[in-house]
Amino acid sequence: MFERISFVQRIEDLHAKLRKGSYLLLIAEDTPFLEIPKYEDVNVCGAIFPRVIFKGKTYGSGIIVAKLSSTSSLQIFDMDTPNTLQPKADTNSVLVIVDGFSSQIDDFLEEFYSFLPEKTKLIGGGAGKTCLVQEPILFDTHRFYMNAAIIVTSTSTIGVGVKHGWKPLVGPFIATTCNGNVLEKINFKNAFDVYKEAIEKDSEMRFENTPFFKISQRYPLGIVRYNKDFIVREPVTTDGENIILVGKLDCNSVLSILKGEAENLLEAAKEAAEISHADKKDDNIQSVFMVDCISRYSLLDKSFKEEIRAISNIYAPKTIVWGVISLGEIANDNQENIEFYNNTCVVGTL
Amino acid sequence: MQQLNEQLLITFECVSAIGTSLQLKEMMEHFLKVFSRKTGALAAVYWEYDKRSKQYKQLCLQGKKAYQEIFIAPHALIKNESIRYDEKSGKSLLYIKLGDDWIVFVFQASQSEIELIKAIIISFQSKLENAVRACKNHLELIEINQTLERRIEEEVKKNREKDQHILQQSRLAQMGEMISMIAHQWRQPLGSISAVSASIKLKTTLNRFDYSTPEGQEESKRFISEAMSKIESYVQFLTHTIDDFRNFFKPNKQKESVTLTQLVNRTLEIIGKALEINGITVKVETHATREIFTYANEVTQVILNILKNAEDVIKEREIHHAHISIIIGKEGKWQTISIEDNAWGIPKHILPHIFEPYFSTKSEKNGTGLGLYMSKTIIEEHCSGEILASNTPTGAKFTIKLKEG
């Protein structure tokens, strides 16, 4: 999918990396820049993420420059019109970056996914900034975009692994009233009351004196599936009654409140890498692309580098591990329907 | 135990996804999405049986369109709740029958795993079937309603056309009556003109004037002048009559302030002469003088119609000392015009039907059966008033009621 992956600290250093061809730029949110300079014969698309990962380290400031291979192409799409993309029949892999704060993510992914060839594998994540305000964070050399998605398609095969490591704390509950990404009632009671009661029973943390986000990143919600792992949904904020989630939730979904221990999360990342590695049919591994949630990053804190190490250890020593700390992760695991995950580690073997 | 628990939870969620819409496509799209997500189905399709073409058509597909070729239309050899392995794709298909329709899921899973998933959908298969039936009934009901609406529209259109036809007939009938009334009105002045011209002719033929003397010449001049004045006045009268009729026929959709007495007088100017010639005395009593705001020409038309009917029946029954009494009165917020004749009234069995269209007691040649029907329409629908008919000991009585103000 990508021919060369490199990293620069400043936008001014980009010229040294950009030669004729198409590039995907992943920019950490603290990187100062106003626009992407135009270069002749250079096609550029990119997005801003909370942090970027390159060679085992994460950066709050800096730019990953990924040059597309000749068998890959990239485009920016408006999320309102996913059906304008008709991938070629020989497309084996897709990398998708969506506006992480768009309310259209689920519908877009579902529609877009339906057009993909049968064996195509997909990986990606939600872009955005940690201020949790929707801004135009996708760009090309012409302008910035909101409610948009970058799609990189390639004939190269990839391996995909998805794991989260969260364990059920209490449940099951029924999401009796939902409206898009707003969870209004759990078991017919105010969602926040149920959530608060369950967490304050388990933890000494109190919502009165701790920011909601600090607690919720430790206690996400899990959507129950049959014979399969939970799909994690992260609560981001509350108005005292409802809980606002990253991603849509269907009414009457069966939920559990999850809890994560650092060792389980690290173990999950390792498992995701193992699955991804095993999923790559040929041995020609060029790099490893990881998409990890900002909440996992905040929760693991200093241990996060262990997560990267756990992933790196699965691959040959010189394999470049790169990626993003994202707002929501995207993958299709085992050819099922596509999912927009939260608090999950997605590993792509490219 | 864990598996049973999960099965129950998924069953609950899938059951909750049933019947979320009365639109079959919308409901099935939602259900297939939820069921596929929860059970890991790669794709799902809903085949709807079309009774007319006796073929299955794909109502909706959930999942990658690339799986489309795995789905072949259901046929007689496929059994309900069966699982079929597709060797070419390496996938398994689960078939569930819902009435005449089918749902087919594609799985990449072992037979035993799919059996457990099958158990989930079978547990609420009848509920799903009921929901599908409800959607189809709803659609059928909508179609019936649409057909009904279309039929109502057609009938309303037909009725409008009929009304137009009635109106046209009524106009033609009125024209006939008018011509007859004009004939009555003109007969006397034309007769007078004829008499005057005959006397001029006679006197000139018989040389009644001595033109040799100045007296004779003067007498001749005076005679001719008087005769011409008479002719002029008769011609004036004829012109006046024509104007009256023309104004009466002019489609005047403007309301105007007018007293009922004025309306009665306008009518009598048109029909009075005809009544007089037929020896019918008309007496008018006025007890209400306030102006009302109404469609004057149309009300005049109604009064005229009632008077004409009275005239016809009086002539038909050869009533001696025939008279018509017109009383303008007041009843609360209403002003009324009562028109009463002495022609022995309307037979009891006819009275309830006189305002119906095409109802006439006159011979075919004379009556269209539309006069009173149009009168009722004018008074009740246009002028928001009432028109009533009853019998008095000596004749028929028609009362027109119009609101004051």
Task: Label the pairing between strands A51-54 and A57-59.
Answer: antiparallel
CB-CB neighbors (< 8 A) of A254 in chain B? 9-10, 12-13
Mean pLDDT along residues A58-66 = 94
Coil, helix or strand at residue A69: coil
Instruction: Find all residues with CB under 8 Å of B211, minimum gap 6, and list them.
Output: B217, B220
Query: What digits encode the pLDDT tens for the residues B369-386?
Result: 667 887 888 898 888 899
Looking at the DSSP assignment, which residues form a beta bridge with residue B351?
none
Beta strands in A128-260 (DSSP E): 138-140, 144-145, 148-154, 159-163, 167-174, 177-179, 182-186, 189-190, 221-225, 228-233, 235-238, 243-245, 254-259
Would you state the pLDDT for residue B365?
Answer: 46
**Min Cα separation B82/chain A (Å):** 20
pLDDT tens digit sequence for A189-208: 999 999 999 999 998 889 88
Mean pLDDT of B291-310: 89
Which chain B residue is nearest to residue A174, measuring alpha carbons?
A: B13
The confidence band for B330, taking pLDDT boundaries of 50, 70 and 90, is: very high
CB contact under 8 A, A224 and B16: no
pLDDT at residue A335 above 90?
A: no
Flag if B40 and A226 touch (Cβ within 8 Å): yes
Partners of B11 on chain A (C-beta within 8 Å) are none
Report whether pLDDT(A98) > 60: yes
pLDDT at B247: 65
- Rg (alpha carbons) of chain A, rounded to whole number: 19
Q: pLDDT digit string (tens) for B193-249?
A: 998 888 888 888 888 888 888 888 888 888 889 889 889 988 887 887 777 667 666
B70: nearest CA partner in chain A: A118
CA distance to partner chain A, nearest, from residue B75 (Å):
25
Q: Tens of pLDDT along A152-174?
A: 999 998 999 998 999 999 888 99
Question: By percentage, how much of chain A surpasses pLDDT 90?
Answer: 44
Separation CA A113–CA A85 (nearest Å):
10
pLDDT band at B1 (very low <50, low <70, confident <90, very high): very low
Residue B283, pLDDT above cutoff 60: yes
Quick: pLDDT tens for A275-328.
Answer: 999 888 767 888 999 999 998 898 888 888 899 999 999 998 889 999 999 998
Chain B interface, best mutation among A83, A230, A337, A340, by max B CB count within 10 A: A337
Q: Is A341 on the interface with B (CB under 8 A)?
A: no
pLDDT at B364: 45
Measured CA to CA, the distance from residue A135 to residue A111 in angstroms comes to 24
Mean pLDDT of A18-28: 92
Alpha-carbon torsion (A289, A292, A298, A301), positive or negative? negative
- For the stretch A107-111, contacts whose Cβ atoms lie closer than 8 Å and that sit 24 or more positions apart, written own/partner, are A107/A79, A108/A79, A108/A82, A108/A149, A109/A330, A109/A338, A109/A340, A110/A337, A110/A338, A110/B33, A111/A82, A111/A83
pLDDT per position as a tens digit, B104-131: 999 988 888 899 889 889 988 989 999 9
Mean pLDDT of chain A: 89
Instruction: Give the residue on B whose Cα is nearest the Cα of A172.
Output: B9
At position B394, the amino acid (one-letter code) is T
Q: So what's the pLDDT on residue A83?
A: 65
Express each pLDDT in B335-379 by its tens digit.
999 999 999 999 998 898 888 876 666 654 455 566 788 788 889
B325 φ, ψ (degrees, to nearest 5): -115, 125
Q: What is the ipTM of this complex?
A: 0.78
Question: Would an 8 Å CB–CB cutoff place A253 in contact with chain B?
Answer: yes
**How far apart, in whole angstroms, are the C-alpha atoms of residue B7 and residue B35?**
12
